[in-house]
């Protein structure tokens, strides 16, 4: 039964980051579900929002797994089920071409969990439309399921691009994004090499069968068919371009906010295809997790109770930290 006026615990950003115990518990609208959060993951985007990114104020967070407790719809099939939520939902207007293709992340009138016009998941409860909620397979733990959003983003590469068995693929960057991308491509039986600056992080991928190389040992030549830039740096983009063979594909998986003049002539001269790749849809990611071909346990750097969320954010800032989890189980 829906009770109006209830309060809940939440991690809120409004000029500053704070943990509150009296945030208004959301009420699911028609076609929505109320999800009780069990476990959530801190993302770099959450940290960027605390520095002013998107001008967002409200509950942070967009990576979580939880249990459906209420549904405001005739379809009650997800009631009591463990679910994950795609981070965006669209306007669903009949004339919206993006909503028609379920590409809600491109809808001009979208709402995005904890980022834009929609309270996030760093709370005891959140609501989302049923069409963006997906049941978690029984053999997938909460600790693995919380990685579904970045995993889906990695799976998007092969949704956008057909990589042939004989093609050489390289991923630049051994942060969370680069690691998940390399692990994903490897689980999809693609010949991939991960390049980074930190041997301890490269070892996480190597232990799951990924070829790895330290950046200082990399011979920069135009020999790769597909290059994935996941460093988020100007130098990373320049190196990625220098590694892409003529008529190859340069996949931009991270954004570079800094401004600098680039010589883009090689893109034209070498006929390089530049592919922007962002979020992905969850079904492919959930299938991959269900197959147990990928394991994110070694990427978890810490698990904190929700009451210690501020401390968890501080830990997330540390250089060697990968994924920090927030436990909302009572």
Q: Which residue has the higher pLDDT, 74 or 234?
A: 74
Digit-coded pLDDT (tens) for 69-87 = 999 999 999 999 999 999 9
Is the pLDDT score of 199 beyond 70? yes
Provide mean pLDDT across the span 133-159.
Answer: 96
Cα distances from 314 to residues 97, 182, 301, 309, in angstroms, run: 41, 27, 13, 9
- pTM reported for the whole predicted model: 0.91
Q: Which residues contact 206 (CB under 8 A, 6 or more apart)?
A: 212
Cβ count near 257 (within 10 Å)? 8
Cβ count near 184 (within 10 Å)? 27
Structure tokens at 248: 């190859």
**Hunting for tokens 């993006």 — which residue is that?**
98
Between CA 267 and CA 219 the distance in angstroms is 20
Report residue 1's pLDDT band, with 50, 70 and 90 as the boundaries.
very low
Q: E strands along the chain, which residues?
A: 7-14, 16-24, 32-42, 58-59, 63-71, 82-85, 88-89, 111-113, 117-118, 125-129, 133-135, 169-172, 192-196, 211-214, 224-229, 244-252, 273-276, 300-305, 323-327
Between CA 316 and CA 37 the distance in angstroms is 20
125, 8 contact by CB (below 8 A): yes
Where are the CATH 3.40.50.720 domain residues in the chain? 151-276
Residue 73 has a pLDDT of: 97
Provide mean pLDDT across the span 198-207.
Answer: 96
182, 76 contact by CB (below 8 A): no
Where are the CATH 3.90.180.10 domain residues in the chain? 7-147+296-327
Strand partners, 20: 10
Is the pLDDT score of 231 beyond 60? yes
Digit-coded pLDDT (tens) for 307-322 = 999 999 999 989 889 9
Please give the mean pLDDT across all residues of the chain. Answer: 93
Residue 256 has a pLDDT of: 62
236, 250 contact by CB (below 8 A): no
Residue 274 has a pLDDT of: 95
Structure tokens at 10: 């939440």
CATH code of 151-276, in short, is 3.40.50.720
Query: 169-172 and 192-196 as β-strands: parallel, antiparallel, unpaired?
Result: parallel
Is the pLDDT score of 137 beyond 80? yes
Provide mean pLDDT across the span 287-300.
Answer: 96
The radius of gyration computed from the CA coordinates of the chain, to the nearest angstrom, equals 20
CATH code of 7-147+296-327, in short, is 3.90.180.10
């Amino acid at each position: 039964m829906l009770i109006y006026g209830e309060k809940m615990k939440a991690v809120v950003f409004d000029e500053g980051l704070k943990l509150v115990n009296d945030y208004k518990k959301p009420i699911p609208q028609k076609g929505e579900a109320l999800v009780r959060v069990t476990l959530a993951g801190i993302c770099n985007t959450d940290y960027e929002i605390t520095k002013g990114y998107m001008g967002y104020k409200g509950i942070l967070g967009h990576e979580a797994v939880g249990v459906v407790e209420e549904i405001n719809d005739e379809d009650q099939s997800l009631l009591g089920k463990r679910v994950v939520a795609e981070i965006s939902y669209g306007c669903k207007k009949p004339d919206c071409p993006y909503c028609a293709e379920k590409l809600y992340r491109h809808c001009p009138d979208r709402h995005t969990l904890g980022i834009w016009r929609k309270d996030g998941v760093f709370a005891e409860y959140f609501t989302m439309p049923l069409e963006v909620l997906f049941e978690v397979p029984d053999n997938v733990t909460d600790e693995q399921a919380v990685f579904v959003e970045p995993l889906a983003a990695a799976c998007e590469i092969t949704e956008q691009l057909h990589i042939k068995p004989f093609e050489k693929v390289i991923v630049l960057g051994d942060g969370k994004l680069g690691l998940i991308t390399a692990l994903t491509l490897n689980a999809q039986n693609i010949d991939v090499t991960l390049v980074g600056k930190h041997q301890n992080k490269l070892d996480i991928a190597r232990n799951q069968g990924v070829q790895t190389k330290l950046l200082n040992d990399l011979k920069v030549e135009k020999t790769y068919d597909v290059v994935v830039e996941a460093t988020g740096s100007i130098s990373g983009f320049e190196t990625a371009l220098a590694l892409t063979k003529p008529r190859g594909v340069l996949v931009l998986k991270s954004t570079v906010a800094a401004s600098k003049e680039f010589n883009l002539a090689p893109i034209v001269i070498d006929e390089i295809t530049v592919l922007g790749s962002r979020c992905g849809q969850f079904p492919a990611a959930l299938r991959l997790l269900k197959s147990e071909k990928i394991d994110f346990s070694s990427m978890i750097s810490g698990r904190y109770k929700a009451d210690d969320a501020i401390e968890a954010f501080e830990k997330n800032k540390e250089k060697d930290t990968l994924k920090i989890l927030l436990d909302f189980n009572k």
